[in-house]
Chain A
């Protein structure tokens, strides 16, 4: 068996909140294969974001190990691209400078940097806004800029924490389709948190439904729908069945 791209091995993460221990994630095992898209859904407090932060290296597990490409995660690194719900663009940099940020940190020479930035902006359709400041962009454009910024450093995996959560329904569907179109080209491993059951099913190979107190995996739903995922698939009976199953797993856990 090949090594999983992302592996959570008996991972726990506990906090002390007001003198009480709070188990955000408890003894969790999950393997994500190379090129796989896994979505995480579950009630608030189920540890989705904690799980992602541990993979990103922003949060240290209190037990177990998170491995990416077989190597234990210790701290953040550019091989794991993270996309935050709040976009987290640097407001003092232009769109192009934001996208080039990681490359500059890496020490990529200016000329090559400009080439990569141009390619990534083209990928998300923001070429015309290269010199705009983030404050002038709409929510969808900001998130596309954040996605381009993550792509620019060419990460092996993408960790996305409710990236489309703040967008309107139309923009959201649009962004989902773009994400899948990009994935179809590069087959990058994606771990994606969402509150939206439709989104979870539409994107994923597998939907991981989590439960809270303590944070754990409740059920894993395999999505046996083919890619590319078209509108027909979104409106199909099979999609409805799967989303109903995920819905029940999320909203009726007892």
Chain B
């Protein structure tokens, strides 16, 4: 006895239509919010609130910075630091998180450190990092790495600890030993947690960047803002801020897309 597919084509189509309708409405509201925001901004700069530059002067500065290539030099330097720190931090966090979740001894050894360093904002380590690591790329990447690591390690560990006991038993009764249980159950079952950790880790890395670039950088969006601050160049600060926001959003979207690709199997509410 086979079940007939529980799909009513008409129903599915109506559902899709309603979904598209809803998405259109949401998009319209998003656009409206952007327009209102720009209007408010224009208004505030028009009444000359604290010398706030208007959208147009910021846009012309953006074009200028794009034209002379400065924006790309800064953006490339910043992205390189973030991605490097994020990659190292995540690459360390995933095995450490697995170890902590899987072996009691590893948890006992590492948890105190992880919990302790979690209470220290990575930025608070900048002075120390400068003393030990100098003022080159290393202390910047180190601080970003630490930020990404601390977030990812906790969620990986949570993912391993939260794997449904029944699934582990199901694998065992089918003949799986420890190695197979780990590879075939623990890893896939904790993937959603790891990806959430990566997304928050990337956010943490990105938000640590600007402060890390206060350490005697030659390029970078954070450095550019600091320079601009000295010359009271508000337009450049705004361009850098908006660039940071857009880039962070794009990177998050990439991870979100990856998340949805890798965890289609999850029951979503």
Interchain CB contact under 8 A, A81 and B173: yes
Interchain CB contact under 8 A, A58 and B173: yes
Kindly identify, within residues 109 to 147 of chain A, every residue whose CB is under 8 Å from any CB belonging to chain B: 125-129, 133-135, 138, 141
Chain B residues within 8 Å of A102, by CB: 174-175
Interchain CB contact under 8 A, B174 and A78: yes
Interchain CB contact under 8 A, A128 and B266: no
Tell me which of A58, A92, A128 contacts B172 (CB under 8 A).
Answer: A58
Chain B residues within 8 Å of A91, by CB: 265-267
Interchain CB contact under 8 A, B188 and A80: no
Interface check B12, CB cutoff 8 A: no
Tell me which of A75, A88, A125, A129 contacts B170 (CB under 8 A).
Answer: A88
Interface check A148, CB cutoff 8 A: no
Kindly identify, within residues 1 to 56 of chain B, every residue whose CB is under 8 Å from any CB belonging to chain A: 1-3, 5-6
Chain A residues within 8 Å of B164, by CB: 88
Give the contact-size bracket for chain B.
20 to 34
Interface check B180, CB cutoff 8 A: yes
Kindly identify, within residues 175 to 192 of chain B, every residue whose CB is under 8 Å from any CB belonging to chain A: 175-176, 180, 184-185, 188-189, 191
Given known A76-B173, A101-B174, A141-B3, contact A84–B166 (CB-CB < 8 A): yes
> What is the CA–CA distance of A110 and B2 in the complex, to the nearest angstrom?
25
From B176, B185, B264, residue with most partner A Cβ within 10 Å: B176
Interface string of A37-79 (1 = CB under 8 A from B): 0000000000000000000111000000000000000011110
Nearest-neighbor residue (CB-CB) of A90 within chain B: B167
Kindly identify, within residues 22 to 38 of chain A, every residue whose CB is under 8 Å from any CB belonging to chain B: none
Interface string of A160-194 (1 = CB under 8 A from B): 00000000000000100000000000000000000
Interchain CB contact under 8 A, B265 and A92: yes
Interface check B217, CB cutoff 8 A: no
Interface check A106, CB cutoff 8 A: yes
Interface check B83, CB cutoff 8 A: no
Nearest-neighbor residue (CB-CB) of B264 within chain A: A133
Chain B residues within 8 Å of A174, by CB: 1
Interchain CB contact under 8 A, A90 and B173: no
Interface check B60, CB cutoff 8 A: no
> What is the CA–CA distance of A86 and B167 in the complex, to the nearest angstrom?
10
Interchain CB contact under 8 A, A90 and B170: yes
Interchain CB contact under 8 A, B169 and A82: yes
Interface size, chain A (Cβ < 8 Å): 35
Chain A residues within 8 Å of B1, by CB: 125, 174
Given known A90-B185, A125-B1, contact A105–B175 (CB-CB < 8 A): yes
Tell me which of A57, A89, A93, A128 contacts B2 (CB under 8 A).
Answer: A128
Interchain CB contact under 8 A, A76 and B185: no
Given known A88-B167, A92-B189, A135-B266, contact A127–B2 (CB-CB < 8 A): yes
> What is the CA–CA distance of A149 and B176 in the complex, to the nearest angstrom?
14
Chain A residues within 8 Å of B2, by CB: 125-128
Tell me which of A80, A89, A93, A133 contacts B173 (CB under 8 A).
Answer: A80
> What is the CA–CA distance of A153 and B170 in the complex, to the nearest angstrom?
13
Q: Would you give the shortest CB distance from A165 to chain B, in whole angstroms?
A: 14
Nearest-neighbor residue (CB-CB) of A82 within chain B: B173
Chain B residues within 8 Å of A133, by CB: 264-265
Identify 6 residue pairs between A and B in the complex whose beta-carbon atoms are under 8 Å apart, listed by A's number.
A57-B173, A82-B173, A92-B188, A92-B191, A105-B184, A126-B2
Q: Rank and list the top 4 A-B pairs by shortest CB-CB distance, nearest first.
A: A102-B174, A88-B170, A78-B175, A82-B173
Q: List the interface of chain B (C-beta within 8 A of A).
A: 1-3, 5-6, 164, 166-167, 169-176, 180, 184-185, 188-189, 191, 263-267
